[in-house]
Amino acid sequence: QRNTFLYIVGMMLYKIGYESFVGSITNLALELWGGDERYGKLGILHGLNLLFQCLGSIVSAQVLRRLAGRHVLVIAVTIFAMIPTLIMIIDRGTGGLMKNSTKDDEKHGGWATDALFPLYCICGVCYGMVEVVKRVIPRDIVGNDVDKLRQIDSLVHIFYEASGTGAAFFSSYLLIRLGSTYGMIMTPACFFIAAILWWQLDKTTFWQGFKNGRIPAGLTRAYLLSSLAFADFGRSIVLGSRIIASRRKFIWLPIGYSLALYAHRYLENGLVPVLAQGYFGKPAYSQILVGGSNLGELLGALLVLLTGNLLPTPIPWLRADALLLGLVWILPFYYYKARRSTFACIFIPISMGWAAGDVSLMAYIQSSVPDDAPDSRISSLGAVMAFLYSTYIAIFAIMTPALGKYADDSSSDGAHSTIFNLGGVQFSVIAAVLLASTFVPSGSWSLNPKLELRQMIGNEDGGADEDGSKAIHIVETMPRAMSEKDV
């Protein structure tokens, strides 16, 4: 209970700081990169950030074998906190000024705005590490019990999105009151406090790597500097892909998880900025719309918690998510510019469907992925999540800049025409593919399937699984002892 409390409170603070930072960065980019390239460059910025999230997700799968999850979280969030601090210091040092009132115009410093790219890439590495670790820690806290996993995932998601909802609305006020640069002022404080709380987590319940959780003596420094570390990046992706491809119950996850996550993230990071700028003329209003989306995520997680075991698999939730994506078609035909809060309500059911599917799907993955072998060097669950998260990032990194360029090119046709294609057409295709994928697992054709959740991937005699597919036995072993010459 103590670990759960500290972990959830830390996640709430992290979410508050993250919402404030992302809103500020998006608004800062739209203000500094005006003209016909703003959405294209914003798409590249988010795309690069997500590519580095991919690196962070792969790194985390390795680091989890050598450090406790709490250490990974503390390191990632501490480095993350330094970036907004550095941006505000640089802006102030080059002549930037904070807004004195909501009516004043913000004065930006004379720093090179392209510096946002490397700074946001560093944030991507940190965010990718946190995203993977926060999907692994629940199993470290409560074990493999699927009911407890569903409960803790729901609780984390509920409090996470509750804080995110409030933070999104409050950060909108900060952006209007302080400006896009200094609107991120509460991010460092929230991150540092979260790091302190996570440091207090009980270390006895977390991942153990090699013997005593450490690399053999004498290899720590050399290992981290050698090419073996980079080779392990690929190994985690290969291991994750092998686990997913080995069973029918896993093969649909790149669509059910990765594509669904892309749709949700693009809704908030790609579609909302176009809506805020094109419909209302103020990028700061994007946080109001994100607040509506976060409220939907909160309600979705709460719904999963309340229904409990009535829906034992994520299949019904994912089907509801696919159907609710159709509500995006309301956006191209919305013309009431003065009703921003009403407009934000459209995002509530859309994000509610995704959140319910995400929470239930995470419990499904955490309980289904096999435990690590005693001599395993790579975390199986971490590898699966790294593969799925990297798949999502690859989709986002390719699509977002291309769609941003389309938004710039079609800006002369009006925002509603742009939203028609970026929102309505694109999300209809995603909904159809997502709905079709839910019929892939064995026994999923019923309205409320009851799939086997816990089964080892491989078996020693190499027999077939219950669905007739041949299992593979995955074991990643530590190579032979290495001499200094080998290193």
CA distance 29 to 39: 9
| Digit-coded pLDDT (tens) for 325-376 | 999 999 888 776 656 677 788 899 999 999 888 888 888 887 777 766 554 6
End-to-end CA distance of the chain: 43
- Confidence at 103, pLDDT banded by 50, 70, 90: low
CA distance 162 to 294: 7
Residue 453 lies in a domain: no
Residue 210 lies in a domain: no
Query: Mean pLDDT, the chain, as a whole number?
Result: 78
| Digit-coded pLDDT (tens) for 111-157 | 777 888 999 999 999 998 888 788 777 777 776 666 777 777 778 87
Higher pLDDT, 114 or 480: 114
- Buried-exposed string 275-294: b where 16+ CB fall within 10 A, e elsewhere: bbbbbbebbbbbbbbbbbbb
- Bridge partner residues of 107 (DSSP): 97
If you average pLDDT over residues 384-403, what whole number do you get? 86
CA distance 276 to 255: 29
**R_g (Cα) of the chain, nearest Å:** 22
Residue 219 lies in a domain: no
- Confidence at 459, pLDDT banded by 50, 70, 90: very low
Residue 324 has which token pair? 């609710």
Residue 478 lies in a domain: no
CA distance 3 to 7: 6
- Bridge partner residues of 464 (DSSP): 470
CA distance 282 to 274: 10
Residue 349 lies in a domain: yes
If you average pLDDT over residues 451-476, what whole number do you get? 41
Q: Any idea which residue has 């309980």 for tokens? A: 367
CB 65 within 8 A of CB 377: yes
Using CA atoms, how far residue 21 sits from 168, 183, 220, 298, in Å, is 10, 8, 35, 20
The structural domain count of the chain equals 1
Residue 414 has which token pair? 């009006």
pLDDT given for residue 172 in this prediction = 84
DSSP label of 428: H
Q: For position 147, which CATH number holds?
A: 1.20.1250.20
CB 482 within 8 A of CB 219: yes
- Confidence at 62, pLDDT banded by 50, 70, 90: low
- Confidence at 218, pLDDT banded by 50, 70, 90: very low
CA distance 228 to 486: 11
Residue 435 has which token pair? 């709905």
| Digit-coded pLDDT (tens) for 180-210 | 888 888 999 999 999 999 888 775 444 444 4
| Digit-coded pLDDT (tens) for 10-35 | 999 999 999 889 888 988 888 888 76
Question: How many CA within 13 A on the CB side of residue 307?
Answer: 19
Residue 454 lies in a domain: no
Residue 408 lies in a domain: yes
Task: Give the residue among 390, 418, 409, 116 at the shortest CA–CA distance from 273.
Answer: 418
Residue 12 lies in a domain: yes
Give the range of the structural domain holding residue 286, as residue numbers without chain letter: 2-101+110-202+233-437
Judged against a pLDDT cut of 70, whether residue 477 lies above it is answered with no
